[in-house]
């Protein structure tokens, strides 16, 4: 199927690259250019280049040997996801850890090229070109996790993080923020997982104005596609030739029904050896079997022969099987059934008791209680423009007297949330309000001391919404405010695809998040509808007042 698609792919690539349709000025301005911004353009040393090549080949060997495991080598992690579903791709994800220090896109292309060369059997020259296209493919879909939902296996999709998906065009975002996806699928020709070249090339070819692909690279990728097709066809032909002798062996000298019939007759009605006069090439016939020497067995023998003549071989086999005594299965004894039912009943009772206990605890305790501790905020000072300085205090509910304060005192905002991992508050760095940088802070549930803090900056008047084990808050990012989602360890999972208003309320319905509110006092109300899993804005609505009828 993939082989037959290759010529169509070459035609599509040629059509897009060759025609170069003229675009309007507004269309050109709206296209985001993919141009990598590097730290410096100094040439890498031979030793460094060789290290990158060794890195790529080592990662390839690790994932080939044990594809079910996650591997990390010199700051690069590789993980393979194999698809068993028709029409859904698998893929390799190569992630850059926080401790990597890549400053030029050529360094990443170099180890990626070595990985492709070793894992998918491409020449070094061809692997370089494919790695270039793979980087552009990932740059196109940067932060676009939703693109991988339908095309790729769900395990791969769930592993991607919106903030890290693909590769940024800025080297500053590469370390700890890159997940390069290489599409793969099972190749019949090669008998293993192979790179899906058509997925990469087709997507890159759709964006001719955004990607600065050289003419020589366009021609090169077309040649690689054709060359790969010829190699696959050759491998399939070799495999078919290898299978041909096996087919001949299987089909040679099939056992005839007459031989089967005679064999069955010999088993059911054995005759003295001296009556069998046929040579190796002859097959005993039914007429010879009809003339036994022993007279007293004549009636029985004739009856058997008639049965053989009147009954086709297939039916005879069925009859023989039917005559065999059936081995009755021993039904489970009533005692074992009763034991199993009793076990299930006990398990259900236990689950019911656990549920009742949890419900009772929930009814008896408010959301601001951890164990036997009542948590509450004490306002220390109000600054301006929504800046507060608060303290988190604890009252021992058992003796209703003991009070103590959390050692973390840089708390802003008027709310906190008790979650499975501890207590979440909005904290700040700096002394004066103008200097402060606000972040989500996780406090230990027992000591209330700081355990984790977000790398991302949080809007100081943000709401904190805790739902289904996730934390939603408004994040300050690139001088704008976005709705972001964090897990219980304060790791960013998703950020809205566009800025949102800070005076918004959150509502959840199935797989949608609704943001309602006013951007400012002078502007009209805006409602944004977001996709829940990756917070992509699907629709923006501006409600209009109904005109009064005259």
Among 468, 495, 522, where does a domain finish?
A: 495
Among 195, 224, 240, where does a domain finish?
A: 240
Are 168 and 25 in the same domain? yes
Residue 261 structure tokens:
């019939």
444 located within any domain: yes
Question: By residue range, what is the domain housing residue 434?
Answer: 369-495
**% the chain with pLDDT above 70:** 70
Q: What distance in Å separates the CA atoms of residue 152 and residue 518, rounded to the nearest whole number?
A: 38
pLDDT of residue 425: 92
- 274 pLDDT above the threshold of 50: no
276 located within any domain: no
- Give the pLDDT confidence of 298-323 residue by residue, as tens digits: 444 444 444 434 444 444 444 444 44
- 223 pLDDT above the threshold of 70: yes
Residue 340 CA neighbour count, 13 Å, CB half = 6
332 located within any domain: no
pLDDT of residue 431: 65
* DSSP three-state, residue 486: strand
How far apart, in Å, are the Cα atoms of 463 and each of 157, 285, 416, 423? 29, 94, 9, 15
Q: Which of 41-55, 197-211, 231-245, 256-270 has the highest mean pLDDT?
A: 41-55
Among 240, 266, 299, where does a domain finish?
A: 240
429 located within any domain: yes
pLDDT of residue 258: 45
pLDDT of residue 269: 45
pLDDT of residue 547: 45
pLDDT of residue 242: 72
188 located within any domain: yes
Q: Give the pLDDT band (50/70/90) at residue 550.
A: very low
Mean pLDDT of 342-346: 77
Mean pLDDT of 196-215: 85
What's the domain count of the chain? 2
- 326 pLDDT above the threshold of 60: no
Q: Where are the alpha helices (DSSP H) in 94-153?
A: 105-120, 124-140, 147-151
517 located within any domain: no
Q: What distance in Å separates the CA atoms of residue 543 and residue 527, rounded to the nearest whole number?
A: 8
147 located within any domain: yes
Q: What distance in Å separates the CA atoms of residue 161 and residue 77, rounded to the nearest whole number?
A: 14
442 located within any domain: yes
Mean pLDDT of 152-179: 94
- Report, in this order, helix, strand and coil percent for the chain, each rounded to 5: 40, 25, 35
Q: Which of 120-124, 276-280, 305-309, 360-364 has the highest mean pLDDT?
A: 120-124
Q: What are phi and psi of 154, to 5 degrees?
A: -65, -35
Q: Give the pLDDT band (50/70/90) at residue 532.
A: very high
- 60 pLDDT above the threshold of 50: yes
- For the chain, the average pLDDT equals 77
Q: What distance in Å separates the CA atoms of residue 333 and residue 320, rounded to the nearest whole number?
A: 32
Residues 204, 195 contacting (CB under 8 angstroms):
no
- Give the pLDDT confidence of 380-439 residue by residue, as tens digits: 776 665 567 888 888 887 777 767 888 888 888 778 888 889 999 998 886 666 677 899
Contacts for 288 with CB less than 8 Å, ≥ 6 apart: 275, 276, 277, 278
pLDDT of residue 178: 96
Q: What distance in Å separates the CA atoms of residue 321 and residue 423, rounded to the nearest whole number?
A: 72
**Residue for token pair 């039917």:** 322
Contacts for 155 with CB less than 8 Å, ≥ 6 apart: 81
Mean pLDDT of 527-539: 92
Q: What distance in Å separates the CA atoms of residue 207 and residue 215, rounded to the nearest whole number?
A: 15
- 288 pLDDT above the threshold of 60: no
Are 375 and 233 in the same domain? no
List the CATH number of the domain containing 423. Answer: 2.40.128
């Amino acid at each position: 199927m993939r082989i037959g698609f290759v010529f169509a792919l070459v035609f599509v690539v040629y059509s897009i690259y060759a025609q170069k349709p003229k675009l309007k000025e507004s269309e050109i301005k709206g296209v985001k250019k993919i141009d990598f911004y590097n730290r410096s353009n100094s040439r890498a040393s031979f030793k460094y280049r060789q290290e990158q090549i060794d890195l790529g080949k080592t990662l390839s060997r690790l994932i080939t040997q044990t594809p079910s495991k996650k591997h990390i080598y010199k700051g690069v992690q590789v993980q393979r996801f194999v698809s068993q579903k028709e029409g859904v791709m698998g893929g390799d994800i190569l992630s850059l850890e926080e401790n990597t220090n890549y400053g030029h896109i050529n360094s990443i292309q170099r180890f990626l090229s070595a990985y492709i060369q070793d894992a998918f059997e491409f020449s070094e020259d061809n692997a370089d070109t494919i790695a270039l296209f793979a980087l552009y493919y990932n740059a196109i879909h940067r932060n676009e996790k939703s693109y991988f939902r339908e095309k790729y296996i769900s395990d791969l999709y769930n592993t991607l993080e919106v903030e890290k998906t693909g590769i940024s065009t800025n080297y500053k975002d590469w370390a700890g923020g890159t997940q390069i996806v290489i599409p793969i699928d099972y190749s019949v020709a090669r008998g293993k997982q192979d790179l899906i070249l058509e997925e990469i090339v087709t997507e890159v070819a759709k964006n001719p104005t955004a990607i600065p692909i050289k003419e020589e690279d366009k021609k090169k990728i077309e040649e690689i596609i054709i060359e790969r097709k010829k190699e696959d066809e050759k491998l399939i032909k070799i495999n078919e030739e290898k299978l041909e002798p096996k087919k001949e062996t299987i089909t040679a000298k099939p056992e005839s029904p007459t031989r089967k019939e005679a064999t069955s007759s010999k088993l059911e009605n054995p005759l003295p050896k001296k009556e069998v006069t046929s040579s190796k090439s002859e097959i005993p016939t039914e007429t010879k079997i009809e003339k036994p020497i022993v007279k007293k067995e004549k009636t029985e023998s004739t009856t058997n022969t008639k049965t053989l003549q009147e009954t086709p071989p297939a039916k005879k086999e069925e009859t023989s099987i039917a005559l065999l005594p059936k081995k009755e299965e021993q039904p489970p004894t009533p005692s074992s059934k009763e034991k199993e039912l009793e076990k299930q009943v006990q398990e259900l009772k236990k689950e019911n008791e656990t549920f009742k206990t949890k419900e009772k605890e929930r009814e008896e305790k408010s959301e601001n209680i951890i164990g036997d501790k009542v948590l509450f905020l004490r306002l220390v000072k109000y600054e301006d423009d929504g800046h507060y300085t608060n303290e988190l205090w604890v009252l021992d509910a058992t003796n209703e007297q003991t009070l103590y304060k959390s050692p973390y005192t840089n708390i802003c905002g008027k709310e906190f949330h008790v979650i499975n991992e501890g207590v979440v508050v909005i904290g700040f760095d700096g002394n004066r309000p103008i200097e402060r940088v606000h972040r989500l802070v996780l406090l230990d549930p027992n000591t209330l001391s700081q355990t984790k803090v977000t790398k991302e900056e949080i809007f100081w008047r943000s709401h904190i919404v805790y739902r289904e084990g996730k934390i939603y808050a408004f994040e300050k990012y690139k001088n704008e405010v976005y709705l972001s989602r964090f897990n219980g360890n304060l790791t960013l999972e998703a950020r809205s695809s566009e800025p949102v208003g800070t005076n918004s309320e959150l509502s959840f319905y199935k797989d949608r998040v609704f943001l309602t509110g006013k951007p400012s006092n002078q502007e009209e109300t805006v409602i944004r509808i977001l996709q829940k899993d990756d917070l992509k804005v699907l629709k923006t609505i501006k409600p209009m007042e109904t005109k009064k009828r005259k």
